[in-house]
Amino acid sequence: MPEIGPAPVLAVLVGAFHAGLFLFIRGRVGRSLLVVLLASMLGAFAGQALGSRLGDPLLIGDFGLVWSSLLAWLGIAIVVAAGMLAPPREGSGGRGRG
């Protein structure tokens, strides 16, 4: 069985935390839940890679928490912006997206 390093596991945890925080602040969970979760996890993993090269002021072992958090929120912002720019679905009955 291959050994998994701590970076992917911590990126999943950091991404899931920030996605949950975003959905808690937003106040509703809609169709974008999985996309927001995936974007924040990928952003956290990319932020960890960036933080390991640029340096990070807050480390958990070798995992850069500041850069991973910033890029997790950037991933969430990209998904939200893409959702706002997308045309509304047919048959939604004029209701907002959920």
Residue 91 identity: G
> 11-29: per-residue pLDDT in tens?
999 999 999 999 999 887 7
Helix 6-26 × helix 33-54 angle, to 10°: 130
> 40-76: per-residue pLDDT in tens?
999 999 998 888 888 878 877 788 889 999 999 999 9
Q: Reduced to 3 DSSP states, what percent helix, strand and coil does the chain have, rounded to the nearest 5?
A: 65, 5, 30
Average pLDDT across the chain, whole number? 85
